[in-house]
Structure 1
């Protein structure tokens, strides 16, 4: 069996498949691994999941914001959330991230739709969005380019730190038939 492109043939032999080589506890490795998910996120769905390798939170010298970003993006991709730190002596900040029920709920959403990148802005910001089963949309990073129609009745502003992420859950109040 051919080993390349497991996202294409993986569902025929298992329920998750590695989509990358090994990840390392560095921001550059996390971004490199994330970039490999750009064009294959639509292959992940209930019964079969892209696995961009284990989480590196609690390992290496990742900042708190880098760890939050890593965990949030893997959760939104619906990747298996495999912890790679020493569970016998977990760093306190790492546990705060790993036990975030709202982010885990995005990962475990029954619809099982992985986020997809919808915009890459000035080589600085990436916007990943995806539907959730309860009528919400998970959005990472920016607010302005959420890909649905309608009028927003409230505004939202968020400071996104360097190597950070903002995760929003937006309620669709009224669906517009197109």
Structure 2
């Protein structure tokens, strides 16, 4: 969890911006909410390396130097992240790390004292130069990081073209699964839908990275913004804010600071993502669930362009026991909403809106319910009689 300036500022970055951002993270309560990384993205360097091959920070943008910047960030209780690229150049045309991996790792982590590296996938060398697959391309920097004398977070930004979710955990702690996010519902729906098929790749060893949290930059309704944050958090994506904090609204701030949603993302006991439990023609899937240290988590995502009631059978989720009742807590209204027995209906969910629930076992369901099984298909008495519904 933390901050990345690319979505809000792109190359318009400098030392003052990052120190101002760090101060705002504190004053707005985001640091206390769990956002602990302040990450640089592209465009911080000069376009040419030194004669000895070193990357140099742009003195016009960072006059005090990178080590001074990270010292100040660390003194405020944050960790600091830096950006690099596995090819000849970064995506914005600055020096990439190909054939300079060990040198750049020394610069980033020993000299500049950064704690995280986002490593991109632009400017790929010709085949007769690289002579390896995409894993080997990222392995070069992973090997260099392994020689650093302290833990470094290695965030692979490979865009998912080479099924990075299958191999990313061998090299790093997170891996981008799609192209860049856009500030609109079609982009969110595409990313959520794509990641619905690879939720099993996320756990404590590493996480599917669904890109930065794109709130407050225009293009999303309030309900879409809630859906965006809920999906990212409950699917255990890294939560990196990509908003201009100087212009943040109270609505966006309230979404980013929802402690009950953040608690699912940061669960110290359960590392797995929620997953769809009802697959149909919906794009993306509407009904999701997963385990947590405090109960079963549900996400109901209204993908329609109109308000809708959303209903499901509890035991469609593999985390729910048949024959039990469950207390229902709404993670957005922060209210206890009674007890669910067999089924639950969320009324009037807004277009592209979301409901996030935490269900806890509350004992046996009432006796005498008909039919004898909430899911009656193949439900049979011990004498062989179908129970029916």
Q: Deviations over 1:2-29 (max 9, x none)?
A: 3601111011110000000011000000
Task: Please say if 1:150 is aligned against 2:338.
Answer: no
Q: Does 1:165 align with 2:354?
A: yes
- Please give the alpha-carbon distance, in whole angstroms, between the structure 2 residues aligned to 1:165 and 1:126: 9
Q: Do structure 1's residue 123 and structure 2's residue 282 form an aligned pair? A: yes
Q: For 1:10-159, what aligned pairs fall within 5 Å after superposition?
A: 10-110=168-268, 111-120=270-279, 123=282, 126-134=286-294, 136-141=295-300, 142=310, 144-146=312-314, 147=317, 148=320, 149-152=322-325, 154-155=339-340, 157-159=345-347
> Highest CA radius of gyration, 1 or 2?
2
- The separation in 2 between residues aligned to 1:44 and 1:52, in whole angstroms, is 11
Runs (4 or more) in structure 1 with deviation over 6 Å come to none
Superposition CA RMSD, Å:
2.0
| C-alpha distance in 1 between matches for 2:164 and 2:313 | 31
- Structure 1 residue runs of 5 or longer lacking an equivalent are none
| Cα deviation code 1:94-148 (max 9, x no counterpart) | 00100010110011112111001111456376111000023x0110115523322
Distance 1:152 1:17, change over 3 A: same
Distance in 1 (CA, whole Å) between partners of 2:235 and 2:313 is: 19
Q: Which stretch of structure 1 is more off in the superposition, 80-89 or 62-71? A: 80-89
Is the Cα–Cα contact under 8 Å of residues 226 and 353 in structure 2 kept in the other structure?
A: yes
Q: Quote the Cα distance in structure 2 between the aligned partners of 1:151 and 1:174.
A: 6
Cα distance in 2 for partners of 1:10, 1:41 equals: 14
CA contact (8 A) 2:312 2:345 kept: no
Give, in whole Å, the separation in 2 of the partners of 1:72 and 1:165.
8
- 1:37 & 1:150 partners in 2: Cα distance? 32
Q: Give the TM-score taking structure 2 as reference length.
A: 0.42
Partner in structure 1 of residue 370 of structure 2: none
Higher strand share: 2
**Shift of the alpha carbon at 1:150?**
2.6
Deviates further, 164-173 or 21-30: 164-173
Q: Work out which structure has the larger RCO, using CA pairs closer than 8 Å and 6 or more positions apart in sequence.
A: 1
CA positional deviation for 1:158: 2.5
Deviations 1:22-49 (A, max 9, x none): 1100000000011110110011000200
In 2, distance between residues paired with 1:44 and 1:150? 31
Give the aligned length: 174
